Amino acid sequence: MTDTLFAPLNPALAARLQSPDATIRRVALFELADEEDEANLPLLIAALNDPAATVRAEAARLLSGWEVPQVVSALLGALVDTDEDTRHAAAQSLSELKTAAAAAELLAWATHADAFALAAVLRTLRELRLPQAADPALAALAHADALVRREAVGVLGWLKYPPALPQLGVLAREDADAEVRRAASGALGFAQGEDVLADLLAALADPVWQVREEAAGTLGKLRLKSALHALIGALEDDLWQVRLRAARALGRLGEPAAIGPLQAALTHPAGNLRKEAAIALGEIGDIRAVPALEVAAADPDPEVRKAARLALARATA
């Protein structure tokens, strides 16, 4: 950094920015950012090349919120910094972009060879919901890195991109990474009809409970009546999170065949499941559930009592 570059600053801040002490330079960046003056951006960007990793990481964090092309370019470059904290800070700052002004440059990075950089760019593109991101995200579903696949799933799920459904279904069933399977199970929620039923039923039997939970939620969202018996079975899952999603899904299906299992769930030891069962019975709205709901209206848990009273009002309306 040259003296000329710092000439517009007050002498004390200029001296701190040029200090041989990295801690002092880092603190000076805070003062610079606090001015919120776009004229200071060249200095913050220049700090991404500081010899100290702590300074580079701080600069990457402080550049968040500046949605101008030169900042996006600089943060993209920081994604391949040798320092892990700097890379993560740059990725986080990029993910906070709310404008598509830098779309062309982001899309140019959407096939980058560096897995971390590619994942970070896909994460940013997901938030921007650019239709042009669909094709590179589709290609990234086959990437060797699980984080890249996960972020690609997010892009395609947000875009609701139908050509991706077959590959998303395969990932939901078979991917080696549980988080990818979970994300893919959720992304299938924009499907039409029962084309993804087999994929979601496989996910509902996944050994990892987060995948089962997501699959149950998606089956409810899609109101796939063919999943009725599988969801009834999921009411007995070992994990309460899965049981809750299954009860919620059964309510959305609205099938009277679920009344008996949901009534049984009203006596489950877990209060949160009793509450969800009551809500689901209210959504089904069948008078046959009234006796069980009347008992639940005296449940020791106030949340269950409230849910049961509301369900009774719907069932008897």
Give residue limits of the domains in the chain. 1-96, 254-317
Amino acid (one-letter) located at 146: A
Number of Cβ within 10 Å of residue 92's Cβ equals 15
Fold of 254-317: Leucine-rich Repeat Variant (1.25.10)
Integer-rounded Cα Rg, in Å, for the chain is 26
Interval 250-291: pLDDT, tens: 999 999 999 999 999 999 999 999 999 999 999 999 999 999
Fold of 1-96: Leucine-rich Repeat Variant (1.25.10)
Interval 81-119: pLDDT, tens: 999 999 999 999 999 988 777 888 999 999 999 999 999
Residue 235: the pLDDT is 94
CA angle, 42 then 94 then 46, to 5°:
20
Q: How far apart are CA 165 and CA 156, in angstroms?
A: 9
Across all residues in the chain, what is the average pLDDT? 93
Domains 1-96 and 254-317 share a fold: yes
Interval 13-30: pLDDT, tens: 888 999 999 999 999 999
pTM for the whole structure: 0.88
Determine the average pLDDT of the residues in 141-146: 98
Confidence grade of residue 35 (pLDDT, cut at 50, 70, 90): confident
Q: Do residues 218 and 200 lie in contact, with contact meaning Cβ atoms separated by under 8 Å? A: yes
Number of Cβ within 10 Å of residue 54's Cβ equals 15
Residue 230: the pLDDT is 97
